[in-house]
Amino acid sequence: MIAIQILPRTDRGYKMNLSRNKYKLITMKNILIISFTFLVLLLTGIRCTKYPIDEDGLLITGRAECYVSNFELLNIDFQTVRSTSAVIDTIAQTIDVEVYWGTNLKKLWPQFSLVTDAKLDPKITDWVDFSNLTNPKQWTVISGNRKVKKTYTVNITVQAKP
Amino acid sequence: MLAIILFVSSCQEQEYSLPEANTHFQNDVIKRSIGPNVVGLNIEFVYAMALGLENGNILSAQVEASIPGAAGTFLEHRSYYTGPGGNDVGIDVANPSTTSGPVTEVVFTRDTCAAALRYYYIIPEEARGKSVSFTFSAEASTGETVSFKMGPYNIGKVEIKRDITLNDNDLRYFSIADMQVYDSTDAAAIPDKIDLVYLYRSISGINFNHALVAPGADPEFLPDIILPGGVDNPTKIRQTWQLRDEHLARLQYHIYIDDLDFEEIDLSSSSDYAINLRAESGAWVETADGNYRAFVYVNSVSNSGKTMKISVKRYTMN
């Protein structure tokens, strides 16, 4: 048996409004849930995207350039000891530096400027002893894609005393 | 409802009344000098004391140091205020201070209820490497006494000697142990004590100019110098720039070299010469026997006179 309740006009309108509002709420709720789920999935997707990182935590990029663009040599007071500009030969992979007469070569800090994304090996973490002029120090430049390696030799000469 | 309550309560007027000052006798101290405390220099304080205007006046003030100050220690008998031009204006409020052992005292002659007296403690030799503290106290006509403790302050081990002139004529042999410059005759008598040789050479093509060189350095750093017999200490020297120690330079930089700097500096791979020294440059020095470390500050140089004026801060190791 089906009981039909006939409501007054006003009540019917009220119930209809309620249903409509409820429908709106459900629709809004669904939209929010879907949006939130989509956002979570998107973030998860982003998070899971693997960018190549090397052993130093540096980004491996597509750059294959591999050279030293500038070189500086500082004393323990962080003053330059170069008497002239360093000559960088990217073909011969040499850096020729003349230092002032009287420079203490035992404790110097070399500074390399490298092409974008490249890195230096070994890293410079302390003062470097350049006093053995017959055995010049060497550093290897590694390109951004970590596939090209070029070893530079730093040749130090001391300004001649007249 | 809450908003209304807050609105109504926030609009309640409160009668303003002037805050009542504490009229009891009270005091306070600030330390004016900065930097490490070095024997021979002073530590400066300002001792302020006050009581209510109607209550009475100050009778006396005194400072007791845990180690008696050296000659020259005094408590100002003038109370200073800052004049319109920012200058200190002093008003006599007491007789000049008297010092008896560790206690320096002034007795007030002016009927005043407030004063700010400066205290200059000249650090004595006995305080070297120790700490010193101070008790400031004052007495008012009300019978009240107040006191304020300051410190302890550590006194450094460093020693200072300023404005020593070296010249390229002959007065070129400097001893860190004696903090004194000698000529070749005197240097020959104490060769073990000679740590630095001063010379000025204008050599085209290189920057030599004013130099401090270890007697034991390569002779190419001592051109035309004939050292007295036995003068050959391989002193370690590290040239440095922009280290203008306030005690030595007396300029505007307020940089201080302290005991800790001497203790921690590593001069093991330093050279044995400092060339091309200029005014406001300097050199860290370690004597060959390792007994002393020093910082030599170049106050001025004269190319024409071939002279160099230096000030030295020395630290005795061990």
Residue A104, pLDDT above cutoff 80: yes
Topology annotation, domain A68-158: Immunoglobulin-like (2.60.40)
DSSP string, A87-116: EEETTTTEEEEEE-TT--TTSBEEEEEEST
Give me the helices (H) in chain B, please. Answer: 2-10, 184-189, 246-249, 259-264
Higher per-residue confidence, B160 vs A16: B160
Average pLDDT for chain A? 84
pLDDT value at position B197? 97
pLDDT value at position B2? 63
- Does the distance separating the beta carbons of A159 and B205 come in below 8 Å? yes
Spell out, as residue ranges, where chain B has pLDDT lower than 50.
Answer: none
Please choose, from the candidates B308, B178, B169, B186, the residue with its C-alpha nearest in 3D space to the C-alpha of residue B225: B169
Domain regions of chain A by residue span: 5-45, 68-158
In the block, which residue shows the tokens 């000098």?
B33
pLDDT value at position A24? 57
Of A127, A129, A162, the CB nearest to B204: A162
Using a CB-CB distance cutoff of 8 angstroms, which residues of chain A are in contact with residue B271?
102, 104, 106
pLDDT value at position A111? 97
Residue A48, pLDDT above cutoff 80: no
pLDDT value at position B11? 61
Assessment of whether the complete model's pTM goes beyond 0.80: no
Q: Collect all residues with Cβ–Cβ distance below 8 Å to A125 and sequence separation of at least 6.
A: none
ipTM for this prediction? 0.72
pLDDT value at position A1? 41
Please choose, from the candidates B118, B68, B64, B72, the residue with its C-alpha nearest in 3D space to the C-alpha of residue B91: B118
- Does the distance separating the beta carbons of B206 and A161 come in below 8 Å? yes
Cis omega (within 30 of 0) on the bond before A162?
Answer: no
Burial A73-99 (b: 16+ CB within 10 A, else e): bbbbeeeebbbeebebeeeebbbbbbb
% of chain B surpassing 90 pLDDT: 85
Using a CB-CB distance cutoff of 8 angstroms, which residues of chain B are in contact with residue A162?
203-206
Topology annotation, domain B26-154: Immunoglobulin-like (2.60.40)
pLDDT value at position B15? 84
Q: Is B33 on the interface with A (CB under 8 A)?
A: no
Using a CB-CB distance cutoff of 8 angstroms, which residues of chain B are in contact with residue A79?
241
pLDDT value at position B3? 64
Of B204, B241, B273, the CB nearest to A102: B273
Token reading at B153: 């302050």
- Does the distance separating the beta carbons of A104 and B206 come in below 8 Å? no
Contact A92, A130 (CB under 8 A): no
pLDDT value at position A26? 59
pLDDT bin (cut points 50, 70, 90) of residue A4 is: very low
Chain B: closest CA distance from residue A104 (Å): 6
pLDDT value at position B82? 87
Residue B28 burial (CB count, 10 A): 13
Domain regions of chain B by residue span: 26-154, 159-316
Tell me the helix, strand and coil percentages in chain B, rounded to 5: 10, 45, 45
Residue A31, pLDDT above cutoff 80: no
